[in-house]
Amino acid sequence: MTNVLTNPDRFFAELSAKDTKLMTPFAIVLVVAIIAAISAAMMLDVVASSLPETASTFMGIGAVIGAIVGLIMQFVMWLLYAGVFYVISIFFSGEGSFKRCLEFIGYGFIPSIIGAIIGLVVAMTVLPTIEFSVENPELFQQALMSNPTMQASAVTGILLTLWSANIWIFGIKHARNLSTRNALITVGAPVGLYLLYSISMMYKTGMW
């Protein structure tokens, strides 16, 4: 399993000789999803604690919904990444089932486990130090975005996404029988656009 992080080309080459199994990648994405759900619930709980009692009840329900959304979203992202890579690989005459593609892309979420843990620790550390104001909620966002720990976490998130992209390149290479160059384009184009969008949003929200 460690080869998927240190030598993904070899890892997926060996895995290609075996039957497609979604259990392990499903478990990887599930771990990320659970941690992300906890972080989302914590964020909404901070907001709820600053609201009047009647409103905080509704926010409590919102925290549950937020946790569910956070849980589901990781699986949506898994399907989305696999789908986008699969479609792009068609233009390079890719061969291989979507199920195999889904399996290999799931392994690329392993760095996201590290990112989710870091995000949870940061949330537990930073959120209690920032007061949410009902009258001026923008101040909460500004304080959150300008926090050095949050900024460091954002940079770490970008680096971990690049690590995932490296795994996806070799995953899609073997899942769809592509050359390394074509696999790099297949993964690099959408991930690059996603990172550019994320960085631009960070600038807009005042994080950088």
Which of 100-114, 118-132, 158-172 has the least mean pLDDT? 118-132
CA distances to 29, 36, 130, 139, 150 from 67, in Å: 15, 8, 21, 24, 20
* Euclidean distance between CA atoms 66 and 98, whole angstroms: 30
- 10 Å Cβ neighbour count for 60? 15
Judge whether 35 and 120 are in contact, CB under 8 Å. Answer: yes
Instruction: State the pLDDT at residue 20.
Output: 93
Dihedral angle over CA of 11, 98, 31, 39, nearest 10: 130
Query: Does the CA dihedral 189-207-123-134 come out positive or negative?
Result: negative
Instruction: State the pLDDT at residue 123.
Output: 79
Two tokens, residue 120: 């949870």
* Euclidean distance between CA atoms 39 and 199, whole angstroms: 21
Is 0.95 topped by the overall pTM?
no
Of 158, 164, 165, 159, give the one whose Cα is nearest residue 198. Answer: 158
Percent of the chain residues topping a pLDDT of 70: 85
Two tokens, residue 113: 């486990």
The mean pLDDT value for 2-23 works out to 93
Judge whether 172 and 85 are in contact, CB under 8 Å. Answer: yes
SS3 69: helix
